[in-house]
Structure 1
């Protein structure tokens, strides 16, 4: 149950320094590292936690190794996001595309099924955005980070922010 005061001291000192190192590296790596998650960000964040836990609880892992590992993840994330901003093909490999779940008041049942989204989740997104009827929504989109965007009924609009949404018609008929 109790190993030694030495083990507790190791956890306290190395854990504190590792925590400070993570905060420092996150801060200098930019806002993108701390943005809403896509699957890539989720994996990196879990890896940060795993490294910190190993650093805090294992005497076999030095503080320098832990900081190097965290620094490598920050560097890899920087490189991957740098490339993805410059290459649509690369971005497509690491990031999902937004998907249209509701269009002009009608649920897109194939998209709901493919994305494993229940009708109730779409209804909740509408209510959260102050809409009481399906028909009040132009679109509900499942974003790349898993959140829902609700676009209220459009009148004479190009809907230019929706051009990258899977399932959104390129020529939008206005009603």
Structure 2
């Protein structure tokens, strides 16, 4: 039995969502490096969020896009755990980004602080916005992976105990391969 030549819409949407997640992680990482170099602000938890998100999205995307089937897909349960880890680290990261200016805005003497927010305000806003976007995307991806996980559990098993990959809910591989 051969798979259809056209990828399923769910597989295309999943790949696009993972590419968006990777893009958001790269933007966040670049912005955090910029802040660190220019103002000495080290937001290590946010850097960790970006790196782990890149690993999770990259591994899932490579498994989705590999038409030669040499790279095996990560199980949906593992992807749910990876997305949950990123989400659980990203939420405290939001608060750390908001609190990162508390030391910079504290006046050293009696005069009131300057109303100018500082040159890092726009980069903090970008970091905050991208981290919120990563959190929202993680909730969607985690829900999606959970649904896929439930579908895999419900799939009938073959005699040798493996789940048939022909009926996988998110396939991007080429139809030229047969089982």
- TM-score normalised to the size of structure 1? 0.31
**Which structure has greater strand proportion?**
1
> Comparing both chains, which one has the higher relative contact order based on Cα–Cα distances under 8 Å and sequence gaps of 6 or more?
2
